[in-house]
Amino acid sequence: MKRKITTTLLLLCTVFVCFAAIAELSGKWKGTIKMSDGSNVPLTYVLKVDGEKLTGSIITPQEELEIYDGKVKGADFTFKVDVNGSAVPSVGKFYADGDSVTMIADLAGQRLKSTLKRVADKK
């Protein structure tokens, strides 16, 4: 009986830690994405998590792109943005340190990787 209670408590703690990690994904993130021509494009992601739904935007030097079809599952997440009329799917992973995210965008068959760092809120 004690073993069953201990196992149940450990599982509950694991679930709560996962939910806390998901909530921590919300916020502003900055990084660069390396394009196929070798150039680096600075990006700012503004992410909002509500349960398992991910919304927000990506700010590029040229425009702001709205995130849609966003989903969060554990530390992994997916979403899409439209670039020049085409949907660009992206996958990401939120790391336990809470200060970094790795993203991979599939732009016209090219896998573009970036690492993002959390932008501290100024108070």
CATH classification of the domain holding 86: 2.40.128.20
pLDDT in tens, 89-108: 999 998 867 788 999 999 88
The phi and psi torsions of 121 (rounded to 5 degrees) equal -75, 135
Mean pLDDT, rounded, for 31-56: 92
Q: Round to whole Å and give the CA distance between 39 and 73.
A: 32
Mean pLDDT, rounded, for 40-54: 94
CA within 13 Å, CB half, 5: 2
- What share of the chain has pLDDT > 90, as a percent? 54
Residue 67 falls inside a structural domain: yes
Residue 59 falls inside a structural domain: yes
Q: How many domains does the chain have?
A: 1
Please give the residue range of the domain that contains residue 79: 2-118
